[in-house]
Structure 1
Amino acid sequence: MSTRNTAQNATPGSPQNWTATPITTGILRGAIDLEQTAHGVLPHRLPAWARAQNTDPNLAMVEDQPSGVRLVLRTRATTVELDVLPTKREYVGAPPRPDGVYDLLVDGRLTDRASVAGGNILTIDMTAGTAEHKPGPPGTVRFGGLPDGEKDVEIWLPHNERTELVALRTDAPVDPVTDRARPVWLHHGSSISHGSDAASPTTTWPALAASLAGVDLINLGFGGNALLDPFTARTMRDTRADLISVKIGINLVNTDLMRLRAFAPAVHGFLDTIREGHPTAPLLVVSPTYCRIHEDTPGPTAPDFSRISDGQLRFLAAGDPAERASGKLTLNVIRDELARIVRQRSADDPNLHHLDGRELYGEADYAELPLPDELHPDAASHRRIGERFADLAFTATRLNTAR
């Protein structure tokens, strides 16, 4: 694989015999909805009706970051150009964030990467709780030197950067890939599932697991927002899927959103809603991976700004372990409760399964590959989690039963 930055900030003059292909759901996978914008189309991972029910600006920001969303084409083209309008995030007091990464796959093999500079800038002040939006120009990501002949081409969009799709051009016609024989895996989780601190969109742990298992991913991992929202459950209910997983826990502690009394009924309701649309699909409930600061200490989670000028934003637990007695949630409390709920429900639902998240990333893994900010795994840990999930989840006793 070559790694090149082939992006440009102005649309190049393409030969007149090139093909311009409208960007529609026919060539886009992993998105739930496409919104028409002044520039083109914006992929969303929640439908419009669900977005209308949301009042949290953070969820609004992360659901339109296209984690798992990719263009999938069948073509003889040797050059592909994609005009995009990214929205970059900058944090006051912190070093600049790297540009989002576009991964190119040819016949399922990662062959190139690129980024697009410029675009809109969203400046976030975490201390003041404010955000300022500054508009910028579109840019072009260009992949050249593709092999001649018919092939499947995938362009995976940056998992952590809002990306409006403006135009797609190729030097040969393209067709949608209509072979949908692979099972569709629908996953919901937190920022770890979203891909925080992964190196690129195909190296988030869900993308890695999907590749290893040979399944078609729809990733509803929303940074900071795996909060048992009913509209997320209804979205999952209404989305075509053969295999389903939900990773629950860390964000409920981060936000200190609910107590144990509310947690169990909310989990039951979330699973009930999914089952309305998928009554027999394999459904895997995954408890939290290891997170030292919140194993036995409740939330909320607070940012530690002491090293932010050096680019090291870290997090700490602001709760008190004694508050567990009043029903405050910790990761161990949530793990025990999720295991109990699945045991209870599986008596009437043989396709419901449970996976302890520490089997994906546990205390021993933390000692070897610590969480850089105490919350999010790095690129090496994403690979480990993805490989383990593929092995532990896509088996005859869990998500493999429908294949």
Structure 2
Amino acid sequence: MNTPEYWTTTPITLELLRGAVEVEETERGFLPHRLPARARAQNTDPQLAMAEAQPSGVRLLVRTRATSIELDTVPTKRVYTGLAPRPDGVYDLLVDGRLTAQATVPGGDTLTVDMATGGFEHRTGPVGTARFTGLPNRVKDVEIWLPHNETTELVALRADAPVEPVPDRGRRVWLHHGSSISHGSDAANPTSVWPVVAAAREPVELVNLGLSGNALLDPFTARAMRDAPADLISVKVGINLVNADLMRMRAFTPAVHGFLDTIREGHPTTPLLVISPLLCPIHEDTPGPCSFDLEALRSGEKKFRSSGAPEERAAGKLTLTAIREELSRIVNDRAAEDPHLGYLDGRELYGEADRAELPLPDELHPDTATHQRIGTRFAELAFGADGLFADGSRTRIADGTGV
């Protein structure tokens, strides 16, 4: 399909993006980042480097009369040795807030991962195009949500009518940090990721720092949150610390305090909600590390298992039960001097009754229906009349959404 010559090409800039912290110019286009360069420079984990460059919650937002829009990108497709091919990442197009069309982009780079050994190989591929046609012939706000699970370089934006940035919509900015569940693992499309579901119900402008495998109380992430504009902040912490078997209780408690202290340096009175882990049976009372179930992997199925033992709790190894108890205590103690701090037990978002109806397919990550439930519950609990985020009259950050 050839693009007509009369179409306009619009430079892709941070002004057209929401949910990205920075945009890096590459040889082929522009790469949105969800952590700033200073944080990226202090990271040595390739998984985090991949996760923060996957644009979960990142979307192009324009105002236009166009009825057809094309977006050229270079996605990075992940291929896991021994497993069926992953579906291509989905681009969701919303018109005035309503999901109207979806597209995928062929081509792109390929990252082949051997889950048994951890090895990987990267191959360069061609630019592809997401095409959307038949849009309403009127002035409208159009959002293109990028695939939450594919690193995506933006190359060109074209339309059959001029596009322009959307002015500040007067929404509060919600800055959220969490694990792969917040990142959107196993959600089918970018607007079905639970923080996106919750943000749409309010609505608020979401900045999603859900970083797959990397909600690890990293100081550089805390500093990134400290320095980011935000009206509302939430931190969901616990599951990755058990997954990675990263620290013992002795280190966990001061690390949580340090993380919250750093955020408070930049946001001393911003509503700050600490969320403990969702129910995850393999780690409720059994420490990590978490590992792939190799027997399931040999049969072409992805499942996770705990490699720890319950008796190791006596040595201070973390479990989800222990983390919830300590997070509740920490927040309760701090709340005496911080009335804008709150705690939410993650089992209120996904608990035993939910597990009976919606089990975790791989023992760790929720599917799309479960993301919908978690997002809806969070909106009710956090933004509802009794929630920490309920007061829509709070003064917004001075420089608008900024994201």
1:127 aligns with 2:120: no
Distance in 2, Cα, partners of 1:198 & 1:272:
32
Distance in 2, Cα, partners of 1:311 & 1:271:
41
- The answer on whether the counterparts of 1:243 and 1:402 sit within 8 Å (CA) in structure 2 is no
1:346 aligns with 2:321: no
SS in 2 for 1:342: helix
Paired position in structure 2 for 1:301 = 290
1:321 aligns with 2:310: yes
1:200 aligns with 2:180: no
Paired position in structure 2 for 1:357 = 346
Q: Alignment partner for residue 204 of structure 2, among 215, 219, 223?
A: 215
1:246 aligns with 2:235: yes
Distance in 2, Cα, partners of 1:128 & 1:299:
19
- The answer on whether the counterparts of 2:19 and 2:58 sit within 8 Å (CA) in structure 1 is yes
- The answer on whether the counterparts of 1:43 and 1:66 sit within 8 Å (CA) in structure 2 is yes
Distance in 2, Cα, partners of 1:368 & 1:16:
53
Q: How does 1:84-103 map to 2 (within 5 A)?
A: 84-103=73-92
1:401 aligns with 2:397: no
Paired position in structure 2 for 1:20 = 9
Cα deviation digits, residues 250-280 of structure 1 (max 9, x gap): 0000000000000010000000010111111
How far did residue 305 of structure 1 move? Answer: 2.3
Over aligned residues, Cα RMSD in angstroms? 0.9
The change in CA–CA distance for 1:59 and 1:81 in structure 2 (over 3 A counts) is: same
Paired position in structure 2 for 1:284 = 273
Stretches of structure 1 that go unaligned for 5 or more consecutive residues are 1-11
Which letter maps to 1:399? Answer: F
Q: Alignment partner for residue 258 of structure 1, among 220, 244, 247?
A: 247
SS in 2 for 1:399: coil
SS in 2 for 1:401: coil
Paired position in structure 2 for 1:382 = 371
Distance in 2, Cα, partners of 1:278 & 1:401:
17
Cα deviation digits, residues 295-336 of structure 1 (max 9, x gap): 000000011022235542101111111111110000000000
1:142 aligns with 2:131: yes
Paired position in structure 1 for 2:261 = 272
Distance in 1, Cα, partners of 2:89 & 2:351:
29
Paired position in structure 2 for 1:164 = 153
- The answer on whether the counterparts of 2:381 and 2:387 sit within 8 Å (CA) in structure 1 is no
Identity fraction in percent: 68
Which letter maps to 2:222? Answer: A
Paired position in structure 2 for 1:5 = none
How far did residue 213 of structure 1 move? Answer: 1.4
Distance in 1, Cα, partners of 2:29 & 2:58:
16
Distance in 1, Cα, partners of 2:28 & 2:8:
19
How far did residue 397 of structure 1 move? Answer: 3.5
Cα deviation digits, residues 153-186 of structure 1 (max 9, x gap): 0000000001000000011001101123010000
- The answer on whether the counterparts of 1:152 and 1:177 sit within 8 Å (CA) in structure 2 is yes
Distance in 2, Cα, partners of 1:177 & 1:379:
29
Cα deviation digits, residues 199-230 of structure 1 (max 9, x gap): 10000000000001111100000000000000
Cα deviation digits, residues 107-133 of structure 1 (max 9, x gap): 000011111122100000121221101
Which letter maps to 2:327? Answer: L
How far did residue 350 of structure 1 move? Answer: 0.3
SS in 2 for 1:389: helix
- The answer on whether the counterparts of 1:282 and 1:401 sit within 8 Å (CA) in structure 2 is no
- The answer on whether the counterparts of 1:99 and 1:115 sit within 8 Å (CA) in structure 2 is yes
Distance in 1, Cα, partners of 2:214 & 2:254:
18
Q: Alignment partner for residue 45 of structure 1, among 34, 38, 44?
A: 34
Which letter maps to 2:390? Answer: N
Distance in 1, Cα, partners of 2:227 & 2:391:
21
- The answer on whether the counterparts of 2:116 and 2:294 sit within 8 Å (CA) in structure 1 is no
Distance in 2, Cα, partners of 1:361 & 1:260:
24
Paired position in structure 1 for 2:399 = none
**Runs of 4+ residues over 6 Å off in structure 1:** none
Cα deviation digits, residues 124-145 of structure 1 (max 9, x gap): 0121221101110010010000
How far did residue 57 of structure 1 move? Answer: 0.4
Distance in 1, Cα, partners of 2:306 & 2:169:
44
Which letter maps to 1:180? Answer: R
Which letter maps to 2:302? Answer: L
Cα deviation digits, residues 340-375 of structure 1 (max 9, x gap): 000000000000000000000001111111000000
Which letter maps to 1:231? Answer: F
Paired position in structure 2 for 1:233 = 222
How far did residue 402 of structure 1 move? Answer: 5.4
The change in CA–CA distance for 1:191 and 1:112 in structure 2 (over 3 A counts) is: same
Paired position in structure 2 for 1:115 = 104
For normalisation by structure 1, the TM-score amounts to 0.96
Distance in 1, Cα, partners of 2:312 & 2:171:
46
Which letter maps to 2:145? Answer: W
- The answer on whether the counterparts of 2:8 and 2:158 sit within 8 Å (CA) in structure 1 is yes
